[in-house]
């Protein structure tokens, strides 16, 4: 089973990385493949209730590859972590087969609560560099998450999401049928405008305090 999954991981790297020349080179040099192999072993130790050994294994993997995967995370065979440095995958995260994860990706939680608190990534998804997928949400099959996006809501299958917070910009490669009405507002811009209005109001009041009405007019 271990070697079958290793072969699928190597095949995924070969299929998704045009720089990969052969499977032997991938097995020797690709940190993403190494991290997944270490994770398989750590996950097995975790399921055997050898949790301390599992965490030691995962931390050793982090030291060697720069990729941190909690031993309890569920990662299907055939996932490709490209480059991988800075990737963090949380305890209750799930990643489907065929998914490609680039460097700097976080599949994390949003609080300290128990239970399922990390995302579920479907099959054949693309999570681009620096993307943050947070909380108990689902990214549907064949979805694409843009670089640097912060995903806080469920992503439908075949959708492309970008931005902070992430919004759907395409479904099945087309903008047709995509409702962006609720996504047009930029919360940062709204807050800055509110602060600007407040500063204008305070400046007006300050000028009124500096120029009181002439007391002689009241005599």
Residue ranges in the chain whose pLDDT is less than 50: 181-182, 215-216, 218-219
Nearest to 4 by CA among 77, 93, 112, 92: 77
The reported pLDDT for the residue numbered 172 is 77
The reported pLDDT for the residue numbered 109 is 87
**In Å, what is the CA distance from 36 to each residue of 4, 58, 80, 112, 182?**
13, 10, 9, 26, 39
The reported pLDDT for the residue numbered 34 is 93
Going across the sheet that includes 144-145, the strands are: 80-81, 100-101, 126-127, 144-145, 159-162, 167-171
Calpha distance 31→42 (Å, rounded) = 16
The reported pLDDT for the residue numbered 192 is 83
Looking at domain 2-183, its CATH architecture is 3 Solenoid (2.160)
The reported pLDDT for the residue numbered 173 is 67
The reported pLDDT for the residue numbered 219 is 47
The reported pLDDT for the residue numbered 186 is 62
Which residues lie across from 81 on neighbouring strands? 101
**In Å, what is the CA distance from 182 to each residue of 4, 179, 185?**
45, 8, 7
């Amino acid at each position: 089973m271990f070697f079958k999954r290793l072969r699928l991981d190597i095949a995924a790297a070969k299929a998704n990385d045009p720089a990969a020349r052969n499977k032997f080179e991938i097995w020797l040099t690709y940190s993403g493949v190494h991290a997944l192999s270490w994770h398989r072993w750590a996950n097995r130790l975790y399921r055997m209730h050898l949790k301390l050994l599992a965490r030691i294994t995962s931390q050793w993997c982090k030291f060697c590859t720069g990729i941190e995967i909690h031993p309890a995370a569920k990662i299907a065979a055939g996932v490709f972590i490209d480059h991988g440095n800075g990737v963090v995958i949380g305890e209750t995260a799930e990643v489907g087969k065929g998914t490609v994860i680039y460097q700097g990706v976080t599949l994390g939680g949003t609080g300290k609560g128990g239970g399922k608190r990390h995302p579920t990534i479907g099959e054949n998804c693309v999570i681009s560099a620096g993307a943050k997928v947070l909380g108990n949400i689902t990214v549907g099959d064949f979805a694409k998450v843009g670089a640097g996006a912060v995903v806080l809501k469920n992503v439908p299958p075949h959708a492309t999401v970008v931005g902070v917070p992430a919004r759907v910009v395409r479904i099945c490669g087309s903008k047709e049928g995509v409702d962006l009405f609720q996504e047009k507002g930029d919360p940062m811009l709204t807050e800055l405008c509110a602060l600007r209005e407040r500063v204008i109001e305070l400046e007006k009041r300050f000028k009124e305090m500096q120029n009181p009405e002439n007391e002689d007019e009241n005599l």
